[in-house]
Amino acid sequence: MARRRALAGNPGCAPWTSSRWRFVLGTSGLQDAEWIRVSGPPEPRDPAPGRQAPALVPTKSRPSNPSPDSQAPAPLDPGPRPQPWGAGDLRPVTSFPAAPPLPPERGPGGAGPCGCKLGDGGVGEAWGGAGLSSDWCWAGRGRGEGGAEAAGGRARAPRDVSRSRRREARGAGRRGPRGGGGVGSGGAAMEPSGADRGPWDECFEAAKQLARRAGEIVRTALTEDKHISTKTSAADLVTDTDRLVEDLIVSELRARFPSHRFIGEEAVASGARCVLTPSPTWIIDPIDGTCNFVHRFPAVAVSIGFAVRRKLEFGVILHCMEERLYTGQRGRGAFCNGQPLRVSTETDLSKALVLTEVGPKRDPATLRITLDNMERVLRAKAHGVRVTGSSTLALCHLASGAADAYYQFGLHCWDLAAATVIIQEAGGTVMDTSGGPLDLMSRRVVAAGTQELAVLVAQALQTVCCGRDDEP
């Protein structure tokens, strides 16, 4: 049956021949296909009861180029083939059984590149292996199994193909983000394609385009003279480029998504309210690491986060000088320039590299606690403490596995929003310094590659009171 199906899908293939039978396709494909005996003397045998055996068509009698007026033999009833068959009981193959449908819990998917149906691979928040629906072909990625269970997706080949092709299509499926299904293309991680679109993908693509445009402005301005002013302290700097970049991002997004809300660092500094509502909300830091930018230190980033119903959906961070684009979408993984990110698996603070920031608040009490926290981490025999001057890039280093943990008091929601999604989708933990769930407006955070390490770091810290972003 597998060979008949293969022939049915490719009318131009060579005839299939066994020791006794030859399957020949006619000029009209399957309409005048025939099984013809090619060896051995005919064995007279009665056909099945109630059925008359069709006459044999000798190979020599078949014209090589039949004329349009030649009459093709009428096809027989395409019902089930009776058993046993007589030696001369030959008939065209006119129908083939359809591939079995997927179970109903699989996603319906969209149209694939060759007309097949790509399944979305599961239920709930998990993004499982992208697989094929009831129609199958090799342009897809096998049958995907994902879902809300922590099993990871697997790609399965149809049963009626060769064993080598089945091995080629089968994938173990990496453990998906948030315990969901893995990616079902041989277990290899990849960025979601156009066939796997989510409800906010248009926003996500717009954020990536604007981050790159903003990065070009920042790179150009880095070597130019800057007009510098201060905000909350002498170390809290702002430049005309900060405002220019934020105006560009907000104006472009507002034109495309007029019903959305915005939280921008410079707008809040100018008196706008910083309130996270259930509405789709963009959280923007036009230049993270402004002090670095002023001094031409290369750790400078553009950060764009997006939240719906107070839940972060995606984050986009561009390292302006190195042109590294860090991205993360909820349930769909984290990437840097298309390459998957994965956090460190370190659980021991004495073997960890820890990142932090000093922050712009420099009163004696705050400065004393800030330095004391660094000392506490070093007394726990951590390998080291690093300060980069850009909290978003420090968190991206954590997401990529280059560092093991991060903590800070005094950062803002625009420093944290985009990076939180990226770390979580890379498999890491982001939480409050008290050990509870993250509060985006609390201005304090502990992040690590593992939950165990995050708890150890949080227990070593002394709290710095910094207020909240959403306080009037």
* Residues annotated as catalytic (active site), given as ranges: 265, 285, 287-288, 290, 415
CB 402 within 8 A of CB 428: no
192-198 own/partner pairs: CB under 8 Å, 24+ apart: 192/127, 192/329, 192/332, 192/333, 193/130, 195/109, 195/110, 195/111, 195/112, 195/113, 195/118, 195/130, 196/118, 196/120, 196/127, 196/130, 196/332, 197/110, 198/329, 198/332
For 315, phi and psi rounded to 5 degrees? -140, 145
Token readout for 7 is 């022939």
CB 218 within 8 A of CB 245: yes
- What H or E segment, with its residue span, contains residue 230? strand 228-230
* Chain center to CA of 49: 59
CB 284 within 8 A of CB 263: yes
For the beta sheet containing 117-119, the strands, ordered from the edge strand earlier in sequence to the opposite edge, are 110-111, 117-119, 131-132
